[in-house]
Structure 1
Amino acid sequence: MTITISISSTIGGSGKTTIACMFAHLLSANYKVLALDLCGQCNFTEVLLQDNTVRGTICDVLEIGNVTSYIVSIDENLHIIPGDQWICSSPSKFYIQGYKTPEVVFAMKELLNQAKTAYYDFVVIDTPSTSSKEVLNLSLSISDFAVMTYSPNKLQLIKSWLNKIKYVQDEFNPELRVGGILRTRFNDIEASHIFYNREVYRRHPEYCWNSIFHNSPLFSNIDSNSIKKVQVDTAFKAVYDELILRLLKTRKNGI
């Protein structure tokens, strides 16, 4: 059974794409992984693909209706459907055909679910920003396990994210599970960081990960070469280990 993990946030700069890259990279050491880039910035694609020249993207998948033709092999265990800066305009095709808003998400969901074949153990999704409503709903609608990256900022952002999860569960994907809130970009020096670090755990202890993705120069300019360095993997080990533990717990509880 393929497990689909989406990494999302309600604000830029939270390390969302870095987290997605590290999960895809480390999972592929032992499992078959498909990376799915649904973010218009396409950084997920840029980091994982050494050769950024691609013949097709996620927009081609949604336009032509063929998934397998646009999967690019990075290595034996890691494949990717490359991102596209115009991904946010893809739903317009379905609106032109007369689809209503929920039907657009269902149509795209049915198409991308074809990627969740028996070949892959995991699909890791880098989601778009919340400004792309249909594509964000799409990324969550095909996910089993949703993780939020939260960097020091308004705590209301967490409530907004949880409300979005609830909406997608009710409308598109009742099997979606909250994978938790991963605190990112925190340090132990700035007073605001210390406050938000403690406060988010106080308010959401059931969702907060124990591990924290701290600011580190190791991840400042991550690319297809640096992501393979032992020290990078070591620095990320606590976060990755907790991902596995949370997946195992969720599976045990019926995912």
Structure 2
Amino acid sequence: MFTRKLLNTTNTMQILTFTNRKGGTGKSTSAWAVAHCLAHDGYRVLLVDGDPQMNLTQALPTSSQDKSLTQILDGSLGFPQAMQQVGTNLWLIPASPSLAAAEKLLGTDAMYPLAFKNLVGDLRKLVDFVIFDTGPSPNSALAMAAITASDQVYIPTMPEYFAFNGLESLLDLISRIQKNFSPNLRVGGVFLTKYAKNYRKSLHHQFVDVMQQHPNLGAHLMESTIRDNVAVAEAQVNQQSLYEWAPQSAALQDYEALTQEILRKK
């Protein structure tokens, strides 16, 4: 049932969350692409769509809305029971139209940041990676629960003022979650989307220079960058991976490089 090209030598499940304060930076796309790259390399990967907008869910061939994150939140299913296989070595717990209401109810629980942390242990013998996708507000109940349950947080951002503006406060939020709930939580890295060093927009390069020199952000800036590529949107519309839709694309090359950089941080 499983194809294992690379072995998880530590035999330890890793939980990753992709998040940012701003929409449109590539959170869902990056979670989707990295998950496909890990699965292609033989790791068993579970994607969890924690965004009520359901973008990640819509990019994958899900079969049932009766097994979704809503059922985990209301206690009718555990994580293993809600998993739906969407590819070789790849599973999804989808979002559903009822997730927004479920998130509001979750927010009324004083211990909501621990909602997932207390449940993901059931997955340790089933998968090597759990990847949470979140909505554009890290302070939301679902995003807080995902970050609290994670080992590492990855932050996709564009080299633009409005994308850059909230990064420091996001790092502060992660630090507070680490202090209060998850002492082993760490920032895996910040990586640039819709950007390459050979792009001609000088303003973008100026913002990259600012980020590199920033006392907090600079240390987290990753080497890998993701170029803008129409193949990503085409693959998602057709519910295919980049390996299936555009195996020679720049987007796949970039996400494979990002995935390898993530693996080196394990």
**TM-score (normalised: structure 1):** 0.85
Cα distance 1:226–1:140, how it changes in 2: closer, same or farther (>3 A)?
closer
Q: 2:63·2:84 contact (CA, 8 Å) conserved in 1?
A: no
- Picking from 134, 149, 153, the partner of 2:161 is 153
SS at 2:167 equivalent: helix
One-letter amino acid of the structure 1 residue matched with residue 169 of structure 2 = S
Task: Tell me the CA shift for residue 244 of structure 1.
Answer: 2.8
Query: For residue 60 of structure 2, what is the aligned residue in structure 1?
Result: 48
Looking at structure 1, the residues matched to 107 and 171 of structure 2 have their Cα atoms a distance apart, in angstroms, of: 27
Aligned pair 1:35/2:44, yes or no?
no
Aligned pair 1:124/2:131, yes or no?
yes
Query: For residue 89 of structure 1, what is the aligned residue in structure 2?
Result: 101
Identity across the alignment (%): 21
Q: 1:35·1:125 contact (CA, 8 Å) conserved in 2?
A: yes
Looking at structure 1, the residues matched to 170 and 259 of structure 2 have their Cα atoms a distance apart, in angstroms, of: 19
**Number of aligned residue pairs:** 243
- Picking from 165, 178, 187, the partner of 1:169 is 178
Looking at structure 1, the residues matched to 261 and 24 of structure 2 have their Cα atoms a distance apart, in angstroms, of: 26
SS at 2:59 equivalent: helix
Task: Let me know the Cα RMSD of the aligned residues.
Answer: 2.3
- Picking from 194, 216, 223, the partner of 2:229 is 216
Looking at structure 1, the residues matched to 230 and 71 of structure 2 have their Cα atoms a distance apart, in angstroms, of: 36
Task: Tell me the CA shift for residue 56 of structure 1.
Answer: 2.4
SS at 2:132 equivalent: strand
Looking at structure 2, the residues matched to 33 and 245 of structure 1 have their Cα atoms a distance apart, in angstroms, of: 17
Aligned pair 1:106/2:118, yes or no?
no
Looking at structure 2, the residues matched to 94 and 156 of structure 1 have their Cα atoms a distance apart, in angstroms, of: 28
- Picking from 54, 59, 71, the partner of 1:60 is 71
Aligned pair 1:191/2:191, yes or no?
no
Q: 1:143·1:176 contact (CA, 8 Å) conserved in 2?
A: yes
Task: Tell me the CA shift for residue 114 of structure 1.
Answer: 4.1
Q: If each structure's helix is expressed as a fraction of its own residues, which one has the higher value?
A: 1
Q: 2:20·2:170 contact (CA, 8 Å) conserved in 1?
A: yes
5+ residue gaps, structure 1: none
Looking at structure 1, the residues matched to 63 and 122 of structure 2 have their Cα atoms a distance apart, in angstroms, of: 21
Task: Tell me the CA shift for residue 215 of structure 1.
Answer: 1.2
Q: 1:88·1:132 contact (CA, 8 Å) conserved in 2?
A: no
- Picking from 251, 254, 257, the partner of 1:235 is 251
